[in-house]
Structure 1
Amino acid sequence: MNSTCPPGLPHVNAMPPAEIVLAGPVTRDEVTGLCDDVRALLQATGAAVVVCDVGGLGPPGLAAVDLLARLELAAKRAGGRIRLRDPDPALHALLDLVGLRFEMEGQPEQREPALGVEETVEPGDPAV
């Protein structure tokens, strides 16, 4: 039995993420429509990620946290996830405070060390 790999690179899912811009304070009535928009974007584009630009979302508060939690749930139910673009530092801190972890655009993944960080060895440390 001979199984050879085809020449070239293996298929990589290079589907660009879908994008949605969240502007202004979002009312409770708009949340359902935005969740529907996220599900529709994932289904229509075939992307696995919807990038949510939250730079113009308004002052961070529990309404913004609720909105983002619902969008993430809608995305997960549709087989995807959301990634935040341009979050206010206060919103990022508030999300951490309530225990919600979102992938942030331009932020290294947790398993990757940040660029420019090197481990140092103290004199007298045993070799591992």
Structure 2
Amino acid sequence: MSYARLPGLPIVDAMTPAVLVLVGPVTRDEVAGLCDDVRALLEASGAGVVVCDVGGLGPPGLGAVDLLARLQLAARRAGGRIRLRDPDPALHALLDLVGLRFEKEGEPEQREPALGVEEAVESGDPAL
């Protein structure tokens, strides 16, 4: 038996996020092209999430914050979002300082409770 091979990777489906590796430092001229890359990856994968590998981005600074904010904006305009892979702790702290929240790969989403968390019951609560 034989069959025609379908184009693309057979193990990749709509639930597999696309990955964009960011190697820095990124110049201001490259930002628009990276935003286009995020939009193209969202359209091609259909997953709604682009994982941005920021491990090689270089020392954290306002340039990295600006880049990630623009990538998130481009992703949201395209109907998706970005998730960070391997962020430097200093970059994560700087993003928190300026008020930008990003999902990190390997962390539970805000909508999901962390595993092993149980709710406490007050002794005066009525039973349901």
> TM-score, normalised on structure 2?
0.79
Aligned partner of 1:90 in structure 2 is 90
Q: What whole-Å deviation, never above 9, does each CA across 1:75-115 have from its counterpart, x for those lacking one? A: 11111111111111111111111111111110112233333
**2:51 counterpart SS class:** strand
Structure 2: gaps spanning 5 or more residues: 1-12
Cα deviation for residue 116 of structure 1 reads: 3.5
CA contact (8 A) 2:48 2:81 kept: yes
Letter in 1 for 2:24: G
Aligned Cα root-mean-square deviation (Å):
1.8
Task: Please identify, of 109-118 and 38-47, the stretch whose mean Cα deviation from structure 2 is larger.
Answer: 109-118
Quote the Cα distance in structure 2 between the aligned partners of 1:109 and 1:27: 31
Letter in 2 for 1:94: L
Aligned partner of 1:127 in structure 2 is 125
Structure 1: gaps spanning 5 or more residues: 1-12
Letter in 2 for 1:87: P
**Structure 1 residues 25-40: aligned runs within 5 Å:** 25-40=25-40
CA contact (8 A) 2:14 2:45 kept: no
Total equivalences in the alignment: 114
CA contact (8 A) 2:85 2:104 kept: yes
**1:58 counterpart SS class:** coil
Quote the Cα distance in structure 2 between the aligned partners of 1:121 and 1:46: 42
Quote the Cα distance in structure 1 between the aligned partners of 2:100 and 2:44: 27
Task: Please identify, of 43-52 and 65-74, the stretch whose mean Cα deviation from structure 2 is larger.
Answer: 43-52
Quote the Cα distance in structure 1 between the aligned partners of 2:116 and 2:42: 35
Runs of 4+ in 1 over 6 A off after TM superposition: none
> TM-score, normalised on structure 1?
0.79
